[in-house]
Structures are given as C-alpha cells and as structure tokens.
Chain A
Amino acid sequence: MSEDMTIQSVRQLTEQLRRTVERHFPFVWVRGEVGNVSRPASGHLYFTLKDAEAQLQCVWFRQQQRQRGSFDPLTGEVFETPPPAPEELLRQGAELICAGHVGIYAPRGQYQLVVELVQPAGQGGLAQAFEERKRRLAALGYFAQERKRRLPWNPARVALITSPYGAAIHDFWRLAALRGQAAYIRLYPVAVQGEGAAPSIVRALETANAHALLPDGPQVIVLVRGGGSLEDLWAFNEQEVAEAVYRSRLPVLAGIGHEVDVTLADLTADVRAATPSHAAQLLWPSRQELLQLLDDLEAALFRGVRRRLERQELLLGHLARLLRAHTPLRQLERLESARSRLSLAMQRAVREMLDRRLRQTDHLTQMLRSFWNPVRLAAAARESGVLEARLQAALARLLARRQQELSWWEQRLQAGGRQLVNKAEAQRERLALRLAACDPLGPLERGYALVSDDRGALVHSVRQAQGGQELHIRLQDGALGVTVAQIRPRPDTMSAAEKGE
C-alpha cells in the first residue's frame, strides 16, 4: 500500500487485496464440513466449508473437477473402483479436506477458496501421502542439514533444469541478467508437470551430472519451476526426483513454486530458493556488489602498496642519515675531537698532580724549618743547661737532706732499741718476781707439804687415801715415804684436806 493518501476506486482496492491474498495463500489445505452446495448449469460447484466458529466460501470450477475417471491424476494410480463423482463428495454435512488457493471474487467482494482437490476427511488424502513420504525421506537422511553443500560463489557455468516454455525460465533469466559474471547457462529442458515430468527431470539431473565431469561442465544445478497448483507441482514430490536430487554430485539449488510451496525436491536440494527469481539472486551476487568488492580490493591494493612504500621510505631516510654519520671524514673528526679532549684532560691531570705535590713539599719544608730553627735551638740548649744545673743542685740538696734524715732515723732507732731493751729487762724482773711468787714449792719453805701417791698424783682429800697405802710427802728440803695409819675425815669436807696435810 504505497499510495495511502490517494483515493482509490473500489476496483483498485479490490485488485490490491486480490494480489495480496493470492500471494500469501497460493496453496492451502482446509478441513471443514460441507454446506450450501449449489451446481448451476455452468457445471461449477459452489459450497461452503465450515466449522464451529467460521465458514469459508468455496468454488470448484468445472475445469478443475478432474477427479472424474478411473485414475488419480496426481499419482497416476489406477483405481479399481472409480472414485466418487464431485457432486457425490459434496454431500451436505460431509467432512472434507479441500486444497486450492485463496482468491477474491470482486463482483461480490468476497474471498473464496478456489478448490483444486477434494478428499473425504480421514481417508488419507494427498496431504497425508505427502507427509508420509516426507517422513520416510527424512528418516533416510535426505533433508539432513549436514549433507547440504554450499553453492559455488558467482558460478561461471550453470545447468538450468526447467521447462523452456514456463514462466520460471523468464523470471530466472530476468534476475540473472543483472547479476554475477558472464556465465554460461545451459538449459536442460524438461516437462515440469503432467505425466513424464518426473522421469524427464531425473534424466536431466543425470545428464547435467554427467556433463559436470567434462572440462567445461556445469558447477551447479538450478532446478526451478513457476507457481502452480499442488497437482502442477506434484512431479517435484515424486520419490524418484527426490532421489535424483539426493544423488546429484553437483550441488542443487531448487526454486519451485511460490514462497509457501515446499516440495520434496526443495527439501532435498542443497539450497532452497523461494522462487525462480530468488534462485538467481542466491546463485550470483549482484554486479553492483561485485563492482563494490572490486573497488574495495583496489583500495586495499593501493593502501597495501602505499604503506609498504612509506615504510621503505622511512627506512631509507634512516639509513641515509646513518650513512652520512659514518663517512671517514666524520669518523676522523670524531676521533680528533676525542683525542683533543683526552689530551686536555691529561694536561689538566698532570698539572693538578704537580700542584698537589708542590703544596705538600711546601708544607713539609715549613714544618721542617719550624723544627730546626737555630735561635730556637740555642734557646733550647740554654734552657737545657739551666735545667741541668738545677738538676745537679737539686740532686745534691736531696742527697744531703736524705743523709740527715737517715742519721736522725738512726739515732732514733738506737734510742728506741735501748729503751725497748730497758723496758723489757724491767718487765722481766717484774715477771720473775711474780713467777717466784707463784712457785708451787714456795709454800714448802713456809712449812707446807705436798702429798702424792706412788704414781706421783697429788692427794688432795682423805678419801683418796686408803689405810696402809704408801704415800710420799714432799717437804722444803726433801721427801718422806709414809704409810697411812689412820684416816680421820673431818665432819665437813675440809677435814679430809686437813688430814691429808
């Protein structure tokens, strides 16, 4: 609806709606209950299909009522008993599965199903047959994603399998003209519908594959067919066609019918295009795109070379600078400058060393002079003479004093010695007196006597003596040997002592 703001006629709008609807519902299966059947003289059948919530107007044109006869036009199956006539199928209240496309009938402003096939529901119709075959081929791995091959990019040699008379080749050619490099397209003409279509397609696939082995053989197979009814497309659901596609050594690009049509050949092909035009689009990039790619590559070429040149230029400049820096003259200059620098340094070092030595020498000389000055030496000699004289005098004085001290101490020692002897003599005399006073024999002179036993032990008490015992009595001038005649102890202890005496 590109012209939203313009006022359209009813016919124009209806025409747009018709295109839209037909594009989106080119082939559908519908299940429902039959009602309102009418059959005018034209032979077309009009009826409604309905269920609990909706109903659909249907028309079955006389030309499409091909189910009269003794074989199935789609599968070629010959019926043992002829199928029911259309009017028999369309009994009021019967449950049917109808196939066809949705169209718009402008005079009445109504949409309707343009019926192509009618089957009693639950009888196992074409749809089920298709599904069943699809399941079987899927189980065999025909549709497996991992066996899909990529198409060659921008192919130069293409095998086109389609009818030379159909819309498909024109659609394909029109789009192809604007795309890709100049390619050789070889058409393998086939019948795309009706009896013999499937075998001719199989043969064409085999021939194209055989040609692929030749030097300029095709690189890819394009299998296309324009839109049509289920019946028209049925050849592409035949197992032999699917098998031939499966076996193809060349990658196969299939574009059969409209966007919504899916055939077994489509599913088996390596790449599936929605339509023949789409197949051309998938096969080749557009020329604009290729030219743009070339532009990009050219730019990259230029960039690559320029970068390379810039890098080389930089390197060259660097090397040239290095070279200039290393000419013999520069080398000589550098050496000369190094030499003069070193020479200066050496001179300076020698001068500094000499200075240092000179300063040291001066210092030492001064020190030496200050030590060996004659005036100082004379003064020192004088001083030394004085000191020596004083030393001599002092020594003499010291000797004299020590002599005096010595003799004084000698006198004192002699006096002291004498005094000590005198004192000791006096003391001895005093002690001799005291000793004499203490002589045990002294009392004997005064008449006392000492009594002792025969062993010499003194007898102090009468109790020490026994009658008849011999005792010694010492007197002042001798001793007496006596025998104890009588013992008379004093009543107190003293009496014994008296007796002893």
Chain B
Amino acid sequence: MKNSRNKIPADFEGRMERLQEIVTALEEGRLPLEEGMALYKEGVECSRLCREQLEKARHQLTIWQDGEEKDLILTDAVSGRQPDEEERI
C-alpha cells in the first residue's frame, strides 16, 4: 500500500479510498507500531475531512452554453407536464 504520510488526497473519493486502505492495513496488523499509529492519525483526519465535506456538501450546477461554462441557479420549478393532463380534471 501507499505510505504517503501527511499527503491526504484532496478529493472525497481519494480520501475514502485512503481511509479504506488504512483500515485494511490496520486490520491486517502487520505494521510496526509507530507506522500504525501514524496511519491511525491519518485515518482519523481523512474521516474528519470526509465528514466535513459531506456535511457541507452542496452540488454546484453550471451550464455549458455557447462554448463556455456559466453558473446556473434553478429557481422556478417548471412543470414539464402536458397541459391536457391538468385540463381533464
């Protein structure tokens, strides 16, 4: 396994993967103690960062128009239904 201490990935999947790696490594229990403790700290940090990320998670929506990217904010919940459906009842 990679042993890049203090190099926690920046993205969520990377952190989750790292966290899973760390758990597996610790469960195998073949590491020297100090390395294990360092990994544990790193795992806790990964977990904390992931949790923060999730708690603050807001998707960002953009629109690709005329060859460039623009922010898009959905405001009006436009109904896509056909008028007839509403009309009948």
A residues bordering B, Cβ < 8 Å? Answer: 15, 18, 22, 61, 63-64, 101, 103-106, 114, 153-154, 156, 163-170, 173, 176-177, 180-189, 207, 211, 226-229, 232, 287, 290-291, 293-294, 297-298, 300-301, 303-305, 307-309, 311-312
Contact = CB atoms under 8 A, between A and B. Distances in A.
A24 to B, nearest CB: 15
B17 to A, nearest CB: 10
Given A63-B84, A185-B59, A188-B64, 20 more contacts: A18-B89, A173-B59, A177-B58, A177-B59, A181-B13, A182-B53, A182-B57, A182-B58, A182-B59, A185-B61, A186-B61, A187-B61, A290-B50, A291-B54, A297-B23, A298-B44, A305-B36, A305-B40, A308-B29, A308-B36
A110 to B, nearest CB: 12
B26 A308 contact: yes
Contact of A187 (B22, B23, B63, B78): B63
Contact of A183 (B20, B31, B37, B59): B59
B23 A304 contact: yes
Contacts of B69: 186
B57 A181 contact: yes
A301 B78 CA distance: 47
Contacts of B79: 167
B23 A307 contact: no
Contact of A154 (B13, B33, B43, B77): B13
A184 B57 contact: no
Q: Which of B23, B31, B51, B60 is packed against the most chain A CB atoms within 10 Å?
A: B23
A186 B63 contact: yes
A187 B70 CA distance: 10
The 8 closest A-B pairs by CB, nearest first: A304-B26, A167-B80, A181-B12, A226-B80, A182-B57, A166-B80, A305-B40, A300-B23
A309 B12 CA distance: 29
A301 B26 contact: yes
B25 to A, nearest CB: 8
26 contacts: A18-B89, A61-B84, A101-B85, A103-B85, A156-B12, A156-B13, A164-B63, A170-B74, A170-B77, A173-B74, A177-B58, A181-B53, A181-B54, A182-B56, A182-B58, A183-B59, A184-B62, A227-B80, A290-B50, A291-B54, A294-B50, A297-B47, A300-B26, A305-B36, A308-B33, A308-B36
A294 B54 contact: yes
Contact of B57 (A18, A180, A300): A180
B2 interface: no
A105 B27 CA distance: 64
A154 B63 CA distance: 21
A232 B80 CA distance: 11
Contacts of B16: 154, 293
Given A188-B64, A308-B26, A287 B54 contact: yes
Contacts of B89: 15, 18, 103-106
Contacts of B31: 308
B81 interface: yes
B27 A300 contact: yes
A187 B62 contact: yes
Given A154-B13, A207-B64, A301-B40, A290 B84 contact: no
A307 B26 CA distance: 9
A293 B12 CA distance: 13
A186 B23 contact: no
Given A185-B59, A185-B61, A298 B47 contact: yes
Contacts of A168: 80
Contacts of B1: none
Q: Which of A15, A164, A297 is packed against the most chain B CB atoms within 10 Å?
A: A297
Nearest to B33: A312
B19 to A, nearest CB: 5
Contacts of B22: 301
A185 B60 contact: yes
A299 to B, nearest CB: 9
A124 B31 CA distance: 71
Given A61-B84, A297-B47, A304-B23, A189 B65 contact: yes
A183 B11 CA distance: 10
Contacts of B44: 298, 301
Interface string B64-78: 110001001010011
A500 B27 CA distance: 160
Contacts of B6: none
Nearest to A288: B54
Nearest to A225: B80
A170 B20 CA distance: 34
B3 interface: no
A183 B58 CA distance: 7
